[in-house]
Structure 1
C-alpha cells in the first residue's frame, strides 16, 4: 500500500533509458531502405534529387534550396515570419 507508487516509478525510470551514442541503429535502417533515386541521408526519404529532401522537422524548420542541388533546413526558432529567409539571403550575399 505505502511505497507502491515509488516502486512503479522506479520501474518506469529503468525502462526509459537514453539512446546509446552509436550510429548502428541509423546505419542498419539506412542499409535496409530501398530507393531507386536518391535516399536522403538525414530523413531517409526517397526523392528524385538531393535538393528535394524534406526537412526532418518541417513544423519547426524552413527549407531553402541552395545552388548545385543542395538544400538546408533552418530552425524557425521563434523568429518572425520570413526572418529565417532574410538571414539565409544575407548569408548568401556574404553580409552575415
Structure 2
C-alpha cells in the first residue's frame, strides 16, 4: 500500500513534466517509432496553388506572401531579414537579397543596374 502511494505521488510529479516535454508521446508513439516530417517539399506547385486559391482577398493578393494589400507595391518581402524591398516608379516592387554592409545598398545597386551602370 505504501509502495502504491509512493508510485501515485511520483506519477503526479512526472505527468506535468511529460506533457511539457512530450516525453510519453515520443516514447509510446507507434511502438517507439517517431513521426518525422518529409525532408523535401514536392517539386510541383499544387500545394502553393491550393493556398493561393484558398486565400480570400478583395484587394490585391501578393503572389509571394499571399498577403492582402491595397496595391502591388505594398506587398511585403517573404524574408525581410535577408531581403530589401525596392519599389519602382511604375507601382511595382521587387525583393532582392540584401547587399553590402550599409542599409539601402541593395536598392542602390538595383538603381545602378536600371541606369545601365552596373
What's the C-alpha RMSD, in Å, of the aligned pairs? 1.8
- Counterpart position of 2:70: 48
> In 2 relative to 1, CA 15–61 (structure 1 residues): closer, same or farther, beyond 3 Å?
closer
Pick the structure with greater CA Rg: 2
Moved over 6 A (4+): none
Gaps of 5+ in 2: 1-32
SS in 1 for 2:95: strand
**Larger RCO: 1 or 2 (CA < 8 Å, sep 6+):** 1
* Counterpart Cα distance in 1 of 2:52 and 2:37: 26
How many residues matched? Answer: 85
* TM score, norm. by length of structure 2: 0.65
Q: Mind listing any 5+ residue stretches in structure 1 that lack a counterpart?
A: 1-10
TM-score normalised by structure 1 residue count = 0.78
